[in-house]
Amino acid sequence: MFHIYCPHCAEYREEEEFHAAGQAHIARPLDPEACSDKEWGEYMFFRKNPRGIHHELWVHAAGCRKFFNITRDTQSYEIKEVYKIGEKPSVVAE
């Protein structure tokens, strides 16, 4: 079980209150009409699956219902950092 710090509630809560919502920082193409099928397909369906540092989007589903980002090590499961939407992560893969 994760013990996750919610940056909006400003305290640690059990993992059962949260849902993972996949990879973070996926930018929607500014002009979808002009995208090739490959570009749009990669935006829609292709996700990273790194071994090590991974930036993820989580939602505090049973609490404040706000989304935020977690930087997590997929190998050790260690949560390196929690930061709000719009903030830049300070822990990044080398």
Partner 1 sequence: MSDLNVMTAAEMAATKAAVMDQVPGPEIQGQSPLHHADLDSLAKVGPKQGGVHLREHKLLGHLTLRLNPENDDQLAAAERVLGVALPLQPLTSVESGSYSVRWMSPDEWLILVPGLEAFDVESKFRDEMGGHYSLVNSSGGSTVLELSGPDVVELLKRCTSIDLHPKLFPVGKVVSTVFAKSSAIIRRTGEHSFELVIRRSFSDYIWLWLQETSREFGLVVKA
Distances (CA, A) of 48 to 16, 31, 83: 24, 23, 20
For partner 1, the closer of residues 6 and 53 by Cβ is 6
Q: Is the dihedral of CA 48, 44, 65, 86 positive or negative?
A: positive
Which phi and psi angles does 7 have, rounded to 5°?
-70, -15
Residue 80 binds to partner 1 (criterion: CB under 8 A): no
Residue 19 binds to partner 1 (criterion: CB under 8 A): no
Stretch that binds partner 1, among 9-17, 29-37, 44-52, 72-80 (CB under 8 A): 9-17
- Helix-then-strand count for the chain, H and E: 1, 6
Task: Please give the structure tokens belonging to residue 93.
Answer: 């893969």
Considering only residues 36 to 55 of the shown chain, the ones binding partner 1 according to CB under 8 A are none
For partner 1, the closer of residues 51 and 65 by Cβ is 65
Where on the chain is the footprint of partner 1 (CB under 8 A)?
Answer: 8-11, 13-14, 16-17, 62-66
